[in-house]
A = this chain, B = another copy of it.
Amino acid sequence: MSLVIVGSVAFDTIETPWERKEKIVGGSCTYCSLAASYFTRPKIVAVVGEDFPKDTISFLKKRNIDLRGLKIVPGGKTFHWQGRYGYDPNQRETVRTDLNVFENFRPEIPASYKKADIIFLANIDPDIQENIFLQVEKPKLVAMDTIGLWISSKPTTLLRVLKSVDIFFVNDEEIRMLTNERNLIRAGKKILGMGPSLVILKKGEHGALVFGPDLLFGILAHPCEDVIDPTGAGDSFAGGFLGYLDKVRSFSKREIRRAAVFGSVMASFTIEDFGIDRFKTLKPGEIQSRFEHFKKLISF
């Protein structure tokens, strides 16, 4: 099968209570494709400026990520997000956003991607997400992510996109905004009535819940004592989840449960270091052993 990821490749400036990192590589598409690359050969659709580091491009290639859909704008500057985390890693504030080349980004799906089986619309403007549907040929599965900004600024388009997708990745804050429900179980079930047949509710340090018709699955987060940088955890979850499904070529309930655990595993590695640094050393064996550790953690 094949997996296409549409999203951002970016610079992030990250502030935590302990450290600050200036203009390191980030972006939803970057995290997601790196996480997925341990399971399949993801194809990305994104845009960067000429200032984007060549060694990162080499690293993504080395991780076997298909970059034919990565547009490099000559003379352009890469999207730059600056965020600040408090002592609670679940809470972050956007300090500054420079859209740069992202401002006029109208993703074009390369001809070689059009028959993709799985499409992931990572967090981008819902208008752009919607446009992707016109460019692909009957994918088996479409998944999406979003953020609070789009829920409040573009609810109509967002709800229309939501109606057309199969899987929705969302966090607790966002699902409460969208459904006006405090109780997460009710909120998850409510989304099932809004289009998706699967809702992946990410709860940060408290794990995740997977809702489907006739399916409710819960996982804990890996018990992490040092969250170095929470950025990209959600995108890495999606990457592990979708990459695994693409690899096993099955959407059975059993595989969906396992996919969610692999998603959680990938997220747990991402937060162990700043930006995408953890992927530079991560070995497949570590992923498998953390998967086994998840089993041990919950067994009774």
Contacts and interface: CB of A to CB of B under 8 A. Distances in A.
A37 to B, nearest CB: 22
A284 to B, nearest CB: 19
A219 B298 CA distance: 6
B185 A298 contact: no
A87 to B, nearest CB: 5
A217 B257 contact: no
A18 to B, nearest CB: 12
Contact of A300 (B182, B225, B261): B261
A263 B88 CA distance: 28
Nearest to A300: B257
Given A217-B298, A218-B297, 12 more contacts: A185-B223, A185-B225, A206-B207, A207-B207, A207-B220, A216-B223, A217-B297, A217-B300, A218-B220, A254-B300, A257-B300, A260-B300
Interface of A: 87-88, 182-186, 189, 203, 205-207, 209, 216-220, 223-227, 254, 257-258, 260-261, 295, 297-300
Given A203-B206, A299-B257, A183 B219 contact: no
B186 A298 contact: no
A72 to B, nearest CB: 40
8 contacts: A185-B224, A189-B225, A217-B297, A217-B300, A218-B297, A218-B298, A220-B220, A298-B298
Nearest to A218: B220
Nearest to A293: B216
A272 to B, nearest CB: 13
Top 6 nearest A-B pairs (CB, nearest first) are A206-B206, A257-B300, A218-B220, A185-B223, A87-B182, A185-B225
Nearest to A189: B225
Contacts of A224: 183, 185
A227 B183 contact: yes
Contacts of A299: 257
Nearest to A291: B300
Nearest to A203: B206
Contacts of A183: 224-227
A253 to B, nearest CB: 10
A139 to B, nearest CB: 25
A184 B205 contact: yes
Contacts of A218: 220, 223, 297-298
A225 B224 CA distance: 29
A226 B205 CA distance: 23
A228 to B, nearest CB: 12
A172 B126 CA distance: 37
A260 B203 CA distance: 22
A176 B188 CA distance: 29
Contacts of A298: 217-219, 298
